[in-house]
Structure 1
């Protein structure tokens, strides 16, 4: 690799791009301009969003963290807890204390949850391909589809119709032989736009760590020491392309075509408790993924018609090899899976007046899955057809109250599932002020994944679907504060939400007497908690600033039948879900220089359902700090950015998953050039 790493526009500079939807249309935000930033107050009293708890990641943060995976971005800047199996390894989401499969993930309107496992590995999604990131919390996800008992994460791309030609190249180098390269090219005019993004990431990932999974006992003193090990067999590489085409023949019609292709190859390190030979227990995973989506949007005077069709093809190979004397490396597992998904949507929304609107939508998806282990000969070949009908009625009353009623009906392989209703409201407490009381009540429903039903060995075809009944109440406040005393303006936005979700037939994988794991239904899980978010940004003289923070209190407890589940797990927090979590981000910018501090903290997590507080079954709290410093330069029409990042600033020792180490203090340097 040539020279080095990373770049990113400063938060205040890019805040000007924070408004608008993926197509640059929609409701315009109010903009109050100051010297270096635009203080943008978004509309938070919208009848189509009544009762919904939603959050988004600022486009500035997306650009600033383009070299990271989406798992890192979500854990640092949202209320979602990410369970990481190591740097560059499997990373899944726990949204509001729910399981990984309870978070629905959509890319440009098509669902990308793995039909086999029912979840998404966020370590395989680079932030570089994300332009918009919107989260719908809890029952708000029913606006997208059913099954999001925790919520939904929506990834989008947007078009800039003003672009004539743009070229951007970023290159980085970091600790553990980490190299990143990113190239984007865009061109077009007011009717046609093309955007191409290429990326490549590589890391040997061979960091050193204190291995607390192995203890050496001094026979004389009885003292315990832990060896310093290297994270071997942990390298990864990823490369991909995102191609976008947009066509606007007139102001009433827009067409788009997007293709995202990616290949990833990673070795999976052994658990830190492993004490066998170095040439055995070698794990490797290869992923090849292609997604295509095309849509047509027609805008009439009072309505909008949208037709969307997508295709997803995913190939995953996993192998486990052991050294056999005289033979060499012999596979103990060689699993191959192939998934084809066809995803289609037709929707129409109509504004009968400024006070009343309606929407109807139909989804028709088909999944075909083949999974085989060539060593054992086990596997399955299954398909699933999913059809979903959706209607919504939204009404505003006296400019103080919004009501949102949504109803969803699904059919799985021709069998009708229970109706899923949602009723939400917004109440403007003070006329003319953005102080909003909001709430909702909803039902949700999720069918088991194909792996849960048919995996060999262990699948359970007798599993019952998961059902949830949720309640939510919150208050949201927003204000643009006036300047004075050298200040040119500030935007304050904060929200507090309390929620409760009662879920029956929760699916969990447990060890069986047959010698392998299998899924079972828990009679009842109760997830409840508080969510708090706050954001303040603006300018103080020549210094622009932006601060944001979140806090989550999450109680997710097992209330399964004690006759089936031991009393030790009854009423206990589910494994790997922290009760307390939060993050804070502070960014300062002055005359092209910028500085960002990021802090994340998590309370203790238990690794067993009985919440045993032993060192083996308990993950201690940890506090993570990152620091970024950089400078923007400009020469004629060419801009440059140099940036230096320090991750894990105070060299914290921590684990996200038992026996899976995480790196200590590490560094990254990045350069960007933009035409």
Structure 2
């Protein structure tokens, strides 16, 4: 038996990534080729475009109601940031088609300034991932993925939605592919006056208007047998008017524009694969202290990225993955004291994977980053997965991860600190998976320790400054229960999760701010022929908003329920209706900014 045939037979029994590429290289181009390998050892929460549409107002709602993340949102559609396993916003890596897109200025991603539509998959990974996805992947990572299919012909769809608070959401996409060429384009326009009112809190979301526009385009061409050249780009423009508390308050706004583009050359052979990527990302933002005046502050950041991912099979059971990357990060600030700055960043990582048998596999990784002007730590990881019984699987992961200081941390005037050290973390988790008929239950206890935590603190001189301060210890439990059953034309689907997160400042022994101890989320979907119905709920426990665990300032626990119904006729025309916050709950994700009470949306979709 030749090595190619034995490789395919062996990896097909594993459900492994390379078999998937052997099988599907003629039908689909996947830009984040590492994700299939990550899934061999880590549980991943995958959301389809249909899942995303259930919470179409913004990406914050998608993640709040369908994942374990806690989302800090300063009112609907405003500044928003995620928290994985009790960590901060800068400890979450946003990854667009395999490229880390966290801001070089803030070190994080503003969720509501990342498009919600236009992806083929949105995937959420909890736990450290700096070896593959770089700085900031300490608490977890959020993956925004696109795919290009071959031999699918021409397709198009139109989606239009009207919602409460004068909200309009329109999305269109089209694609064409044959056996050699694939092309896909999409566009989204979203606008909302966002003037909701919460009478019980004596709150009106004045000056809450926001809009955004997104354009995505991608193409892939087979230049030879098992070789493709692919391109993916995204253009985004957004404006947010920040809410004010009184009618005659000073109105402000924030505008941002981003460009992301990558070219990939992929080779897939029987014993090796290689993916060479060149990418360019640009972020521009402007803050207006007076909505009708000139900008008060702003910045422009440009990143040039070159990344190569080489994977070689010594034997069908043993492979070596080498990932090298080089970046040039450039920035220029306005009104912040940040001038023209530039930083070179390089890295070299190696991962060795050994497939002992159909039911046992291991992965060991090591990485060295080379960050200009910083002494970066050596990173490592070790993972394994074992399926000892048909109904029980177990996986474990441990890793060292890091985040280097951002441009704002280093150069903002006043307050920037050029002597900052990178944050480092040690983390471990173990996932126990139980299979009972159509039910699947996973339990994942975890532990994380973060050193040299970068914090902005008040100084004796009257301004805030960046320091390496306290150490943070985080531990807890993530769990998920899924169920699927089909009886004739009846389909039932359940997805529920519970998280317990204890995140402690080691110096004060107090819970970190905006880290709820308990969160429960879940959804139930029912489909009969052309009719679909879903119910979606989320409970959030007590959440402290101060460093001293002051109960009077904490956010009270709350439960929010959403529901929707839709009908599809002739497999082309869909009409749906949603009720958001059907329980009419009064709740906040950030102090002083209530989120909307009961509201509605109606939508239609046409597929060609």
Task: State the TM-score, normalizing by the size of structure 1.
Answer: 0.82
Partner SS for 2:152? coil
1:423 lines up with 2:385 in the alignment: no
Match of 2:333 in 1: 371
Residues of 1 paired with 2:529 and 2:360: CA distance?
Answer: 45
Q: Assess, with a 3 A threshold, how the Cα gap between structure 1 residues 584 and 135 changes in structure 2: closer, same or farther.
A: same
Shift of 1:396: 2.2
Q: CA deviation at 1:372?
A: 1.1
Query: Does 2:59 match 1:59?
Result: no
Q: CA deviation at 1:330?
A: 6.1
Unaligned runs of 5+ in 2: 1-14, 25-34
Structure 1 equivalent of residue 577 of structure 2: 644
CA distance in 2, matches of 1:503, 1:51: 26
Give the Cα separation in 1 of the matches to 2:430 and 2:43.
Answer: 13
Task: Classify the secondary structure of the residue corresponding to 2:60.
Answer: helix
Pick closer, same or farther for the CA change 1:457–1:340 going to 2, 3 Å.
same
Residue 266 (structure 1) aligns with: 240
Output the CA distance in 1 between the equivalents of 2:241 and 2:344: 34
**In the alignment, which residue of structure 2 is the partner of 1:254?**
228
Equivalent residue of 1:281, what SS? Answer: coil
Q: 2:27 — aligned with what? A: none
Question: How far apart, CA to CA, are the structure 2 residues paired with 1:380 and 1:178?
Answer: 39
Matched-pair contact (CA < 8 Å) for 2:92–2:142: yes
Where 2:453 maps in the other structure, the secondary structure is strand
Kept after mapping to 1: 8 A contact 2:190/2:211:
yes
* Corresponding residue for residue 195 of structure 1: 184
Give the corresponding residue for 2:158. Answer: 169
2:149 alignment counterpart: 160
Shift of 1:416: 4.6
1:539 aligns with 2:486: yes
User: Does 2:72 align with 1:101?
Assistant: no
Matched position secondary structure for 2:148: coil
1:440 and 2:418 correspond: no
Deviation at 1:85, TM superposition (A): 1.1
Match of 1:393 in 2: 352
Match of 2:563 among 627, 640, 648: 627
Moved more, 445-454 or 290-299: 445-454
Q: CA deviation at 1:319?
A: 1.1
- Aligned partners of 1:530 and 1:254: how far apart in 2? 42
The residue that corresponds to 1:314 in the other structure is: 283
The TM-score, its normalising length taken from structure 2, stands at: 0.91
Q: CA deviation at 1:371?
A: 1.0
Out of 453, 457, 464, the position equivalent to 1:506 is: 453
Indicate the SS of the match to 1:159.
strand
Structure 2 distance, partners of 1:79, 1:240, is 27
In 2, the alpha carbon distance for the partners of 1:522 and 1:498 equals 27
Equivalent residue pairs, number = 584
Per-residue Cα deviation, 1:59-90 (whole angstroms, up to 9, x for no partner): 26445337342222111111121111111111
Q: Of 442, 446, 466, which aligns to 1:495?
A: 442
1:574 corresponds in structure 2 to 512
Q: Which residue of 1 aligns with 2:410?
A: 453
Matches within 5 A, 1:60-209: 61-62=50-51, 64-65=53-54, 67-209=56-198
What SS does the corresponding residue of 1:127 show, helix, strand or coil?
A: coil
Query: How far 1:604 sits from its partner (Å)?
Result: 1.1
CA displacement at 1:510 relative to structure 2: 2.4
Deviations 1:509-533 (A, max 9, x none): 2233322222222231101110101
**Distance in 1 between residues matched to 2:464 and 2:19, nearest whole Å:** 46
User: Could you say what the CA RMSD is over the residues aligned between the two structures, in angstroms?
Assistant: 2.4
Corresponding residue SS for 2:511:
coil
Distance in 1, Cα, partners of 2:36 & 2:117: 32
Look up the match of 2:434: 477
Q: Is there any run of 5+ residues in structure 1 with no aligned partner, and where?
A: 1-18, 29-45, 213-226, 323-328, 482-489, 561-569
Contact 2:107–2:136 (Cα < 8 Å) also in 1: no
Q: Is the 8 A contact 1:24 1:158 kept in 2?
A: no
